[in-house]
Amino acid sequence: MNNIRSYVEDKILPFVETPGQYIGGEWNSIKKEDVNIDVTIALAFPDTYAIGMSHLGMQILYGLLNEREDTACERVFAPWYDMEAALRKHNIPLYSLETFRPLGEFDIIGFSLQYEMSYTNVLNMLDLAKIPLRREERTEKDPLIIAGGPLALTPEPISDFIDIFFVGDGEEKLPQFIECFKKLKHSGNLSREEKILSLVKEMKNLYAPSLYAVTYNSEGVIDRIEPKLPGVPPVVRGASVSNLGKAYFPENPIVPHVKTIHDRISVEVMRGCTQGCRFCQAGMTKRPNRIRSVDNILNMSEDCYRNTGHDEISLGALSISDYPHLKDLMTRMGEVFNRKNVNISFPSLRISDELTELPSYLNTVRKSSLTLAPEAATTRLRKVINKNISNEDLFAGVKEAYKEGWNLVKLYFMVGLPTETDEDVEEIANLAYKVSSLMKEVKGSFGNVNITVAPFVPKSHTPFQWEPMVSLERIKEIKRIIMNKIRHRRICIKFNKPERSILEGVFARGDRRLGKVILQAWRDGCKFDAWDDFFDYDKWKSAFEKTGLEEGFYLSRERGEDEVLPWDHISSGIIKEFLISERKKSFKQEFTPDCFRNGCPDCGACARSEHYVKA
């Protein structure tokens, strides 16, 4: 390992861009000696250091596992093109940042799967590490390849390459996994398959694709997904942290050497969302709401600030506006951090009658942009997606923000939603003009408005999981409508790449046959597909043609409610009957109220539901 370090430092790092992302040794990073270490695990993020080090989940698992004396947890990220070329040229395997240990020498490699378009990077990292890509080709000497994150809820497309998926929250269950693995490691000459089977039987939250058989009917639709062996659960239930206040939080997060996407402290104030937006996978699968106390948040924020020196703290939640003690929290955060010149930031805010109060909560910190997510611009379409908001509340909140000193408003919209018409699309432009003009009413000039438009991708475990996705041609037509309607120097438009959204739509609801498409695309040179500079849709289309699969099968057809879906053996707790009910209500344009403040809709996710099953 020392030989690799010295060679890389002398022969490679002087010639690559941003070498600081490949050397480790950051403030608060942890390097352990091999003495008394039973389990070594590399946390692998299939994107750049700048993105991976901005991800709170990575910091949580890193700190949690390194608290164990018997475990050494290290990190690895996808190397940029120049670094990859250098590693291949010099025949250096992909290594961890902490000790420069080749990934092939770890017991476990754990991938964080956050986005469908990172799949080719997973394969590229395994190849750089000289580890067989397909799980059935690995031997006893190869690390166990596990994966977690939101895409573990829809694991089939990448299942050819992953030994075990860890489904759900990791804070409470991952230490149990390490303990089970350690016992198996020291239990004698168990085969790789026997270890995997034992782990799956021991824990409820693990999905091992090799232990399940998938059969298809004559039309290519799944007929059955069933365990191959006794004791393997027919349905894998995702782990869920019951008490967020007691969950592990990294009070000594790593401070990166180089600039990252989010150079700040991130504190999760609430997990879950019960607004019930019918397009939102996170809102459905992260139920129920679990909150941290104001004291807990304040203590964590102070500790992180003391241990990092960051000058910004982001308070995170799927719907921060729903945090029940927000005013008290912001008052007390201001008292502590204003004098230290530390900025407090929010993610996007929910639009409600309380929006007018939020700018005043934030008026004690530096003002950046106010981010709002109307998602749809018409009342009719908002009823379809269960986004119970009004333009009146939006306009009142924005006007108050302008009064308090904000000059930029960011608006997020989805297009291609079920039942959408041209009128719904055109109203996006009208709404943007109105938001900009509100500044003129307050300060005499138009306000700056940034609009981000994303094509709607139907996601698994949501009421829209059965819906077809709109075609590439329709997405491009929608883009033309919006671009032609908005011609204002104060309104900027960012439209997500339609072709990438199409592929995301394929993999978001795909089955395990797509593994051969991913492999072919990687062999043809696809990687960093989330980056505009490197995304090549033609190569992906070619990969589908070479493997004999059609995008349209996964995109364009409406699924029957009785169809076996590729994720039916994976559960987040939400029952299918609830999703079907919500789907029917969407086409009737009926709202379902937020159960955090109203009655229980019996979705199955918490103990109030008659269908609740403890994870």
Domain ranges of the chain: 2-231
Indicate if the alpha-carbon torsion angle 576, 578, 581, 582 is positive or negative: negative
Q: In the predicted model, is pLDDT for residue 610 greater than 60?
A: no
pLDDT above 80: residue 609: no
Do residues 54 and 123 lie in contact, with contact meaning Cβ atoms separated by under 8 Å? no
Contact 230, 278 (CB under 8 A): no
Mean pLDDT of 289-294: 94
What is the dotted CATH code of the domain comprising 2-231?
Answer: 3.40.50.280
Alpha-carbon dihedral sign for residues 590, 591, 592, 597: negative
Q: Which of 352-356, 397-401, 596-600 has the lowest mean pLDDT?
A: 352-356
* Residue 40 backbone phi and psi in degrees, to 5: -115, 135
CA distance 294 to 329: 6
Q: 38 vs 35, 184, 306, CA distance in Å?
A: 9, 11, 32
State the CB neighbour count (10 A cutoff) for residue 127: 16
Average pLDDT over residues 8-21: 96
> Confidence class of residue 601 from pLDDT cuts 50, 70 and 90?
confident
Please check the confidence at residue 354 and state whether its pLDDT lies above 90: no
Our CA angle for 355, 433, 408, nearest 5°, is 55
Q: What percent of the chain has pLDDT over 90?
A: 81
pLDDT tier, 615 (very low <50, low <70, confident <90, very high otherwise): low
**Average pLDDT of 123-142?**
97
C-alpha distances (whole Å) from 500 to each of 111, 118, 455, 544 are 22, 12, 10, 14
How much is the average pLDDT of 100-124? 98
Q: If you average pLDDT over residues 164-185, what whole number do you get? A: 95
Dist. CA 272–CA 519, nearest whole Å: 34
Is the confidence at residue 362, as pLDDT, over 70?
Answer: no
What is the full DSSP assignment across 82-111? HHHHHHHHTTPPPB-TTT--BGGGSSEEEE
Distance CA 21, CA 23 (A): 6
φ and ψ of 415, to 5 deg? -125, 155
How far apart CA 197 and CA 187 sit, in angstroms, is: 14
For residues 282 and 168, the answer to whether their CB atoms sit within 8 Å is no
pLDDT band at 41 (very low <50, low <70, confident <90, very high): very high
**3-class state of residue 239 by DSSP:** strand
Q: What's the pLDDT score for residue 128?
A: 98
The predicted model scores a pTM of: 0.95
- Please report the DSSP string for 330-348 in residue order: HHHHHHHHGGGT-EEE-SP
| pLDDT-derived band at 613, boundaries 50, 70, 90 | low
Alpha-carbon span 43 to 47, nearest angstrom: 12
The helices-and-strands tally (H runs, E runs) of the chain is: 20, 19
Q: Name the 3-class secondary structure at 511.
A: coil
Adjacent-strand bridge partners of 148: 112
3-state per-residue secondary structure call for 576-598 = HHHHHHHHHHHHCCCCCCCCCCC
d(CA 418, CA 402): 34
What residues pair up with 147 in beta bridges, in sequence order? 111, 165
pLDDT band at 1 (very low <50, low <70, confident <90, very high): low
Amino acid at 309: G
Q: How far apart are CA 546 and CA 85, in angstroms?
A: 27
Local confidence band at 405 (pLDDT 50, 70, 90 cut-offs): confident
pLDDT at 611 over 60: no
Q: What is the pLDDT of residues 493-538, one digit of tens each?
A: 999 999 999 999 999 999 999 999 999 999 999 999 999 999 999 9
Average pLDDT of span 317-335: 90
Find out whether 470 and 456 touch, Cβ atoms under 8 Å: yes
DSSP string, 250-317: -SS--B-SS--S--SEEEE-EE---S--TT-HHHHHT-S-EE--HHHHHHHHHHHHHHH--SEEEEE-
Pairwise CA distance, residues 66 & 234, whole Å: 33
Find the helix or strand (DSSP H, E) in which 556 lies. none
Q: Which of 164, 190, 200 is nearest to 41 (CA)?
A: 164
Q: What is the structure's pLDDT at 369?
A: 78
Instruction: Report whether pLDDT(596) > 90.
Output: no
Mean pLDDT over the full length of the chain: 93
Q: Residue 319: its pLDDT value, please?
A: 87
Cα–Cα distance for residue pair 259/474, rounded to 1 Å: 38
Give the chain's largest Cα–Cα span: 77
